């Protein structure tokens, strides 16, 4: 029987710092927890100094000559880095373009329903594209389509700004709205 491998992503950060015995340099520049300089020390002496203080020796600048190491609590460092990554992930907004389809013959009540939905999208920070498709000979009614788009723009002007309008391309035309705070 074959065993399956687990492909779950771990929430932990991979070790990007060398700590204690992982440091390969013979001598290191040691910086204390409060930023004080201990000077260049033998790596084993620096590890002993870290153990005396109940801390870890962490290599912070491995490319320097000699490498710079800091005395600190490595668990706290990893915890702070995880919190920073989580905050950055929270701040990245994932807004998308929501599409609403209209017809040149859409009645007022149906238009109100679609505008209500567009308002919800805009309030949540998403951009909204209204798209109108003309079938067959309906292309001759494109001026009615422009009137509908003008109505939509007028009713959403308090909440959104027109970001882009596309002329009739083939049998489709569209208008894109962005929330006022995101519009440029």
Domain with CATH 3.30.110.10 in the chain: 97-179
Is the pTM higher than 0.85? The answer reads: no
**Per residue in 79-125, pLDDT tens?**
988 999 888 887 776 678 899 999 988 899 999 999 999 999 999 88
Domain with CATH 3.10.20.80 in the chain: 20-91
**Per residue in 3-21, pLDDT tens?**
555 444 444 445 677 888 8
How confident is the model at residue 153, as a pLDDT?
A: 92
Q: How far apart are CA 152 and CA 58, in angstroms?
A: 60
Domain 20-91 has CATH 2.40.170.20: no
Q: Which fold has domain 97-179?
A: Translation Initiation Factor IF3 (3.30.110)
């Amino acid at each position: 029987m074959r065993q399956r491998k687990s492909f779950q992503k771990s929430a932990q950060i991979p070790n990007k710092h060398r700590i204690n015995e992982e440091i390969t340099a013979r001598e290191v520049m040691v910086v204390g927890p409060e930023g004080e300089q201990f000077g260049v020390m033998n790596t084993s002496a620096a590890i002993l100094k870290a153990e005396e203080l109940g801390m870890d020796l962490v290599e912070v600048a491995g490319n320097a000559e000699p490498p710079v190491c800091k005395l600190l609590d490595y668990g706290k460092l990893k915890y702070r880095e995880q919190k920073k990554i989580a905050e950055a992930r929270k701040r990245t907004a994932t807004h998308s373009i929501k599409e609403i389809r209209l017809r040149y013959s859409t009645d007022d009540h149906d238009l109100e329903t679609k505008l209500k939905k567009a308002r919800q999208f805009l309030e949540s920070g998403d951009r909204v594209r209204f798209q109108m498709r003309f079938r067959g000979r309906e292309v001759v009614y494109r001026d009615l389509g422009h009137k509908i788009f003008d109505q939509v723009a007028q009713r959403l002007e308090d909440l959104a700004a027109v970001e882009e309008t596309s002329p009739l391309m083939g049998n489709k035309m569209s208008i894109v709205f962005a929330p006022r705070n995101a519009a440029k």
